Structure 1
Amino acid sequence: MRVVLLRVVALLAVLAGVNYVVWRWLASVNWEAWWIAVPLVVAETYSLVDTFFFALTMWRVKVRSGPEAPPAGTVDVFITTYDEPVDLVMTTARAATRIRYPHTTWILDDGARPEMREAAERTGVGYITRTDDWTGKPRHAKAGNLNNALFQTEGEYLLILDADQIPEPQILDRTLGYFAHERVALVQTPQYFSNVDDADLLGNQAPLFYGPIQQGKDGWNAAFFCGSNAVLRREALMQLGISGYVRDVEQTVRASLRTAERMLARTARSARTDPAEAELVAELRDRVREASERLRAGESVGEVTWRLQEDVDAVSRAAVRGHLTAMEEDLAAIAELPLQADSELPAFVVDDVALDRLAERDWSPLGAIESVQSITRALAVDRPDEAQPVMPMATISITEDMATAMQLHANGWRSVYHHELLATGLAPEDLGTMLKQRLRWAQGTLQVMLKDNPLAKRGLDGGQRLMYFATMWSYLSGFAALVYLAAPAVYLLAGVMPVTAWSVDFFARFIPYFVLSQLMFLIGAHGIRTWRGQQYALALFPLWIKACWTSAANVWFRRPLGFVVTPKERVGRAAVPWREIWPQLTAMAVLVIAAIVGALRVVAGTADGVGTLVNTVWVVYDLVVLSIIPRAALYRGPAAHAARKENRPR
C-alpha cells in the first residue's frame, strides 16, 4: 500500500513540477531583470530534475529480508589503512577474527608501518603492504591498495572494511547467500557511526541514503559500492580488471597509430624533393594505415601490433642511410624520451606527453622510422607506466567505489543492497574534517561523471544510467543553492523582482508542487529523520561549487586533487575552519540585512507587501538552514565516543 501511495504522490509531484516550471519559463520570467530572473528559473528547473530523479528512485524501492541460500565460498576480509592509529586498526582486526563464517583476515597497510606489521603478527592476522613494483608508479590511493592485495590473496569473496568499521560476527552469514545468484558481484550494507549523538550536528549519519535511496537504486539494479561494509566477488573484479586492461591497451594503440600517421604525414611533405625518401615514407604510411584498418575491423591488438612491428622492421632494414646530421639530431631527440625502467632498449613510455612530442617534431625519414619503431616496441610492453597491468578496482577517480560499481554493472553484473546494520564505524568529529571528507566524495563522483558519464556508458541499461547520473547530478546543487540565497536578498534590498508578479497564477502552481514534493519526500523517507541532510545539501553550497571546478580542472587540465584520509580520532581541540565557512557566514549576514531593509521599505511605502512577505519567509528558511554551519563550527564532539572506547572488545 505504501509503495502504491508513494508512486501516486511521486507522479503527481512531477506533473505539478512540470506545470509550474513550464509556466515559469513561458509566462513569469521578468526579462527586464534577466540577470537574476534567468538564474532563478534555471535553478528551479534543476530542482525539478532533482524531484524527478528522487521520484524515479523511489518508484522501485526493494526491501530485502535476507538471502535465501546459505553462505558458501572462501572469504578474505580486507581492512584498509594508511595512517590510522594502530590500536584503532587492531580493534577492527580483532573484531574481524570473531566473524563466525570461516575466513582469512588481512590488514592492508598502505603506510608500510613496522609497528602495524608487528601488531598484526602478534594477533595472528595477515599483513599486506605494497610490493616493490609500485615504487615510482602511480599509487591510486585506496584503489591501488586493494588492487595490490587482490594479487596476493585467493578468497572467492572479499569483505572490505575501513580501518574503523567494526564488523558484527554474523556479517558474512547475512550476506554471502546472495552470491548463490551467479551474476551477483556486490552486496553492500549500511554504514553507521557510533560516535554520533542524536543531534548529529555534522550530518554524519545518512539514513535516507543508507535506506530508501539505496533500496530504490537496488530496485533498478544500481545499488553501488560505498567503499566499506561490502562483500565483492573476486571473479567479477578480476574480469573487470582484464576487460579494463584490454580497453586501455586498445585506446593506447589507437592513439599511437594516429600519432604515427600524423608524424609520417609531416615527414612526407618534407621528403618530396628526394624520390627515394618519399617512397620510403609512403611505404611506412601504408603499413600504419593497414594496422589502423585491421584494428577497426576487429583484429586482436596483439596480432595488429606484432604485424606492424614486423612491417616497420622490414622497412627499416631496407632504408638507405643518409643525411647524417639529421640522423644524429633525430636519434638524440629519441634518446631524450623517458625510458622504461630496467630496459636496455631506448623505448619510451606511451603516454600523451610522449605522443605529443613525437607528433609535433619535424622528422627526417630515418628518424621517422626509428620513432615508429619506438612506438611499436613500447606497445609490446604491458603498461610500463603502472605497477601492475591489471587493475580490478577502478582508478579513474579518488573515490574508487562508485566507479568500480558502475563498471561492474556495465559488464553485466548485479548488485544487492542488504539493509541491516552489520558494521559500526567512526565519523568525523569536527567541521573541518567533515568538510574535507565531503569535498573528496564530491570530487570523486564528479570525476567519474566527467571521465565516464553513465548517460553515454555502454553496457548500462536506462534505469542504471539515470540512477548513477542522479547521484552525480546532486553535486551540482551548489549553483542552484547560490541563486536561492541571492534571489530573496536582491528583492528585499533593491526591489528587483525575478518574477513578473506574485499573482494567483504563481501560488496556484507553486504551492501544489511544493506540497506534493514534500509529501513524496516524507513518504519515501518512511519516518526517517532527514532534516539534517536537507540542511547540508543547501548549506554546503561553497563546497559543492569548489568540487565542480576542481574536478573539471583535474579532468580537463590535469591539475592534481590529492587524496586525504579522513582522521578517525580527534587530535586535540580542532580549530574553527573560518576559511572554509566564510561564504555561509557572509550569506547569513546579507540575508539578515536584507530582511531588515525589506521591512523598512514596506514601512516607508516603497515596497510591495506581498512580495516582501514571501521573500522574508524565504530568507527565514534560508537562515534556519544555514544556521547549522556556525553550530557545527562550535561543535566539540559527542560523549558517545568516550563510551565506545570504554566498550571496545579486548
Structure 2
Amino acid sequence: MGALHIWMTWRLTERTPPPPLGHVSIDVLIPTYNESVDIVRRTLAAAVAMDLPHTTWLLDDGNRPEMEQLARSVGAKYLARTDHAHAKAGNLNHALQHAKGDFVAIFDADHVPNKHFLTRTLGYFRDPDVAFVQTPQDFYNTDSFQHRERNAKGLVWTEQSLFFRVIQRGKDFFNAAFFCGSCAIARRSALDGIGGFATSTITEDLHTSIRLHKAGWKSVYHAESLAFGIAPATMDPFITQRIRWGQGAMQVWRQEGLLFAKGLTIAQRLNYFASVSTYFDGWQKAILYFLPVYSLWTGQLPLRTDVGTLMLHWLPFIVLNYLVFEELARGYGRSLYVEQYNLARFFAFAYATLSLFWKRPLSFKVTDKEHTGQSGSGATRPVQVVYLLNLTAIPIGVALYLAFGHIGLEGLMLACIWSLINVVLASSVIRFAGFKTRYRRKNHRFGVPHAIELFRGPNRLPCVIDNLSIDGCRIYGKVPIDLKDDECINALLHLPNKVLPLSLVVRHRFRQQHQGTSFITAIGCTVDWSSDTDKLALEQYLYGSDHQWSLNNLTEQDHTPLEKVTRWIMRRPARLHQKASDWQPLIHTNGQVLGVISQRVDPSSGHVRAISTETPHSHLIGVIAVGRRQNQTLDLRLIDYRMVSTPAKPYFLCTYARS
C-alpha cells in the first residue's frame, strides 16, 4: 500500500481550463430526498444563476409539494418519480429520460455551485474523448467533525484534503481520476453509451467511473474549488457516510474485478485497487490498537529482541515514514490528525470490508446534512473500547509482572508506552466528537468581515461584522457602554451586491478591562428579518464561494517539514493571518463607507490589507480607520488588488502602502 501511494502521488497534474464550448445545451441535475427547503434553496438558486445558458432540474425523490413550489420560484424545472428504485442513481437516470442536453452537471442538494462552474469546466470537452470533469468537493461549514482549525496559523484542514488536493491529481496523471457523485459535469453521450449511471452498487459514482474508463473514455480532474457543501457536523453521520463508501467500494470490487478488469489500463487498475483496498487499513489499525493489550495481559510479545536493536530499526523507519508521507502530501498531510481519523473510522472501514464476501443487497443511506448537534454519538463506541482496554491493560500488566514476572521489564515498558499512546489518541477523538455533538447552531457562521453601520438614536457607529449567518452575527468596534441585552438596533450591512438593512437583537456583550475601565469589545446578535428579499440577498452572498478563506487569508496547506527547515534557515517571516478583531471600518472623508482595513501590518513588506466592495482607488488621502478607542487618519497608496468572485457581485482584496 505504501508503494502504491508513493507511485500514485509522485506526479500531479497542473491543468489550465480551455475556453468553454459554445452552442451546446447543458442540464444541471440536483437530486434531493429529505433535505430541508433552506438547504435545497441555496443550491438551486445558485445553480440557476450560473454563467452560460443551461437548464436546472430539481430531482425530488421525496415527492414534496414544497420542493415543486421552490423550483418554480427560482426558475428551475421540477421532476419527481413514482418509485424510488436505486436511490440517487435511479433518480439521475430517471432525469436522463427527460433532460436532453449535450452535457449534464451534477450537484448534491447541499453543494452550492460557484457562478463560474460551467465556464471553468466546459472547455475540457473540446477533447472528444473526455467523458467527465470532476472538481473538488469542498465544504463551507469549517466547524464540522471532519475539519480542524488552527486559528493562530490560519490553517483550516479537512479529513479529505489529501484526497482532493493530492491523490485525485495524482490519479488524473494516469487518466484514473474518478467521479465523486457531485461537483462534476459529464458528456451525455458517454453516459448513454454505458447505460446511464451505475445502479447495481450503492456507490454509483465510483462504479460509473470504472464503466466509463473501461469503455475507453477519458476523465479530467480540475483542482479548483467551484462548489461548497455541508460536511457531516458530528461523528455519527461521518461514520455512516464512510461505511456506505466502503461497502460500495467492496461491491464494485466484487462486480468489476479491478485488477483483472478488461478495458482498463494497468495504471487505472492499480489506481482503483489502491483506492478500494484502503478500507482494509481498518484491520491493520485494529491490530495496532489491541496488540499491546494482548501483550500486557498474556506476556506474549509480537517481537523477540532487545530495546536497543528495536530502536535501531524502528526509529529510522518511523522518521522516514513521516517525512515521505508529509513531503508527498505537499503540506496537506497532518500526520497527527490523520492518525486520529484513522482511529475514529477503523471499525467502520473494517466492517465495510465484510461486504466483499456477502451478496445481500445494501441500502443507500442518505448522509444527514442538517447542521445541528445530536444527543449522543454511538459511533464513538469502538474508540471507547480502545480507550478502556488500553487504559486498564497498563495496571493489569504491571500487576501481573510484579506477581508472576510474565513479561520482561523492557517488554513491559514498551507495551505500556504503546498502550499509553493509544489511550491519548483515543481520548483526543472522544473529546473532539463530544465537543461537536454539543454544537447546536442550525446554520454555519461565516468568517466574512465587512463594514456595518449601527444606528442608535442620532448616532451612526461604523463597526465590523463577522461570524455571520442568516440567523445571527458578531460585531466588533466602538460599541456603546450602556448597550443592553435584548436591545434592538437598526443597521446597514455593506455587501458587494447591496447595502442590506438589518434589524438586530443584542444577545451577548463581550467585555474587557483596560486600565481599570470596562468596555464592550463586541456584541453577539440575532437577526430579526422583516423582508424575505433581504434574507435571500444575504444567503445568496454567503454560499457558493471561498470568501471566508480569502478574506482571512486561510489555507488548508501547511509547510512540509523540509520547507519549515528551509524557512527557518532563511529566516522567512510567518504567513500573515487575519483575525476577526484585526479589522476596522474604513471611511472616506465624505462619510462614505469604503470597506474594512486591517490593523496588522505585514512585517515583511510594511503593507496592509483591505477589503473593498467597490473597485479600489489608486490613492486614498485622509481616509479614516475607525478604532475602538481612537480613529486614525491614513494616506493609502494602492499596491495591488485581487478580485474575488461571489454568487452575487465580486469584492476586492487590496494591498496598500501607508504614507
Selected match of 2:58 from 95, 107, 132? 107
The answer (yes or no) to whether the contact 1:397–1:448 under 8 Å persists in 2 is: yes
CA deviation string 1:94-119 (max 9, x = no partner): 11111112211111111122221122
Distance 1:463 1:638 in 2: 46
The 3-state SS of whatever aligns with 2:107 is strand
- 1:494 equivalenced with 2:298 (yes/no): yes
**Which of the numbers 515, 540, 543 marks the counterpart of 1:649?**
540
SS at match of 1:415: strand
Contact 2:386 2:422 in 1 (8 A): no
The DSSP-based 3-state class of the residue aligned with 1:427 is coil
The residue type paired with residue 172 of structure 2 is D
- 2:347 is aligned to 542
Give 1:479 shift: 1.6
Q: Counterpart in 1 of 2:191?
A: 237
**Is 1:177 the equivalent of 2:123?**
yes
Match of 2:96 in 1: 150
| Matched-pair contact (CA < 8 Å) for 2:145–2:234 | no
Superposition deviation, residue 171 in structure 1: 0.9
Residue 440, structure 1, aligned to residue 244, structure 2: yes
Are the equivalent residues in 1 in contact too, given 2:147–2:159 (CA < 8 A)?
A: no
Displacement of 1:641 after TM fit? 0.9
C-alpha distance in 2, partners of 1:446/1:234? 27
Could you tell me which of 220, 226, 229 is aligned with 1:416? Answer: 220
Inter-partner Cα distance in structure 1 for 2:146 and 2:88: 27
Quote the offset at 1:205 in angstroms. Answer: 4.3
Equivalent of residue 267 in structure 2, options 444, 448, 463: 463
Cα gap change, 1:74 to 1:205, in 2 (>3 Å): farther
1:433 maps to a residue whose letter is: P
Q: Distance in 2 between matches of 1:194 and 1:68?
A: 27
**TM-score, structure 2 length as denominator?**
0.63
Is 1:596 the counterpart of 2:395? The answer is yes
| Equivalent position of 2:364 in the other structure | 563
- After the TM superposition, which residues 212-231 of structure 1 pair with which residues of structure 2 at under 5 Å, given as runs? 212-231=166-185
1:325-367 alpha-carbon deviations (Å, 9 max, x no partner) = xxxxxxxxxxxxxxxxxxxxxxxxxxxxxxxxxxxxxxxxxxx
Q: Counterpart of 1:401?
A: 205
Question: How far 1:593 moved relative to its partner?
Answer: 1.6
Matches within 5 A, 1:26-175: 50-64=1-15, 66-72=16-22, 73-130=24-81, 135=83, 139-175=85-121
Conserved? CA contact 1:197–1:638, under 8 Å? no
Secondary structure class of the residue paired with 1:475: helix
Shift of 1:504: 5.0
TM-superposed deviation, 1:472: 0.9
Aligned residue identity for 1:500? R
CA separation of 1:489 and 1:436: change in aligned 2, threshold 3 A = same
How many residues are matched?
439
Instruction: Measure, in 1, the Cα distance between the counterparts of 2:76 and 2:385.
Output: 51
* Change in 2 beyond 3 A, CA 1:235/1:638: farther
3-state SS of the aligned residue for 2:90? helix
Higher relative contact order (CA 8 A, sep 6+): 1
Are 1:514 and 2:318 an aligned pair?
Answer: yes
Q: Greater share of helix residues, 1 or 2?
A: 1
Unaligned runs of 5+ in 1: 1-49, 242-391
Q: Secondary structure at the match of 1:76?
A: strand
Could you tell me whether the CA contact under 8 Å between 2:343 and 2:383 is conserved in 1? no
TM-score, length-scaled by structure 1: 0.64
Q: 1:240 to 1:176 in 2, by over 3 A?
A: same
Residues 1:523 and 2:334 are matched in the alignment: no
| Residue pairs, 1:189-338, within 5 angstroms | 189-197=135-143, 200=146, 205-241=159-195
Residues 199 and 115 from structure 1, CA distance in 2 versus in 1: closer, same or farther, beyond 3 angstroms? Answer: closer
Classify 1:199/1:89 alpha carbon distance in 2 versus 1 (closer, same or farther; 3 Å): closer
Please give the alpha-carbon distance, in whole angstroms, between the structure 1 residues aligned to 2:192 and 2:144.
Answer: 42
RMSD across aligned C-alpha pairs, in angstroms? Answer: 2.4
Cα distance in 2 for residues equivalent to 1:122 and 1:104? 14
Native 8 Å contact 2:235 2:380 kept in 1 = no
Give deviations 1:270-313, integer Å, cap 9, x for gaps: xxxxxxxxxxxxxxxxxxxxxxxxxxxxxxxxxxxxxxxxxxxx
Q: Which amino acid aligns with 1:176?
A: L
- Indicate the residue corresponding to 2:418 in structure 1: 618
Structure number with higher strand proportion: 2
Letter in 2 for 1:486: F
CA gap of 1:86–1:198, structure 2 versus 1, over 3 A, is closer
Of structures 1 and 2, the larger Rg is shown by: 1
Query: Is the 8 Å Cα contact of residues 193 and 205 (structure 1) preserved in structure 2?
Result: no
Equivalent residue number for residue 288 of structure 2: 484
Give 1:178 shift: 1.1
- Secondary structure at the residue paired with 2:380? helix
Query: Letter of the aligned partner of 1:124 in structure 2?
Result: G
1:599 Cα deviation (Å)? 4.4
SS class of match (1:155): coil
Whether contact under 8 Å (1:223, 1:417) holds in the other structure is yes
Q: Which residue of 2 aligns with 1:533?
A: 338
- Is contact 1:71–1:172 with CA below 8 Å preserved after alignment? no
Give the Cα–Cα distance (whole angstroms) in 2 for the partners of residues 582 and 198 of structure 1.
20
The 2-side partners of 1:146 and 1:502 are apart by 61
TM-superposed CA distance for 1:608, in Å, is 2.6
CA distance in 1 between counterparts of 2:421 and 2:12 reads: 31
- Could you list the per-position Cα deviations for residues 11-65 of structure 1 after superposition, in whole angstroms to 9, with x for gaps in the alignment? xxxxxxxxxxxxxxxxxxxxxxxxxxxxxxxxxxxxxxx212211211232232x
Range moving further from structure 2, 462-471 or 199-208: 199-208
Amino acid at match of 1:541: F
| Residue of structure 2 equivalent to 1:453 | 257
1:637 counterpart (428, 436, 439): 439
SS at match of 2:117: coil
